[in-house]
Amino acid sequence: MLSLNSDNTVQLTDLKDNLTGQAVNDATVSGSLLDLGGHLLASFTMSYVGGSSGEYIGFIPVAIASTLSDGEAYLIRVVVESSGATQTFSQTDMATYPEG
């Protein structure tokens, strides 16, 4: 869920090297928010969480989230670059106002 009235945290957890199984703590990780038509709405960087095993965190600020349409689906795409390889992860989330 993408919250329309607050910052949104984007997390990538347990990033591991496919060959060694070791945690990857030195990757370059970036994210983007797109509508389902593929139009880029925002880009953000993701930082390694110190002391973790392959965890990265980034934020979609409320200034961007508040421009989204309630009830619409959006694509969050995360691109990881490490040791000359690139891998992409994607997830679709619905924008909404949290209950409460």
**CATH number (domain holding residue 59):** 2.60.40.1220
Q: 5: helix, coil or strand? A: coil
| Whether the Cβ atoms of residue 7 and residue 59 lie closer than 8 Å to each other | yes
Please give the structure tokens belonging to residue 20.
């060694």
Altogether, the residues listed in the chain come to a count of: 100
Q: pLDDT tens across 44-80, in order? A: 999 999 999 999 999 999 999 999 999 999 999 999 9
pTM (predicted TM-score): 0.92
User: How far from each other are the two terminal CA atoms of the chain, in whole angstroms?
Assistant: 15
Q: Which domain holds residue 86?
A: 2-96
Burial class (CB in 10 A: 0-12, 13-18, 19+), 10: buried
pLDDT at 9: 97
Q: Based on the structure, what is the number of domains in the chain? A: 1
